[in-house]
Amino acid sequence: MWHLVWTRNFRTRCRKLLPRNRELGEALTTTLALLVEDPRQPRLKLHRLHGELEGLWVVRVTYSVRLVIGLNESQHEITLLALGSHDEVYR
């Protein structure tokens, strides 16, 4: 099992997005549960980022919402960094 580390930026983003979108909250809960089990599950569509965000990873929460994470394989830690649309998280 993996451990989730919640950053301040991620918590702030959740407080802004989730009250307005109940379905996103449910999708995020499901995504986080899958991440804790195994972040490499095909359903999450985990992939590496390149360019300025090299070293980070992204998973799909919904069709249009992405979750940027950091993976520490040796510690089995997943750092939750950013949540938002494709354009928002890749800035």
Q: What is the pLDDT of residues 20-31, one digit of tens each?
A: 889 999 999 999
Residue 53 lies in a domain: yes
Residue 67 inside a domain? The answer is yes
Residue 89 inside a domain? The answer is no
Question: Which residue from 28, 33, 39, 34 is spatially nearest to 66, judged by alpha carbons?
Answer: 28
In a domain, 90, yes or no: no
Whole-prediction pTM value? 0.92
60 within a domain of the structure (yes/no): yes
State the total domains in the chain.
1
CATH assignment at residue 14: 3.30.2310.20
Domain span at residue 43?
Answer: 3-84
pLDDT in tens, 47-80: 999 999 999 999 999 999 999 999 999 999 999 9
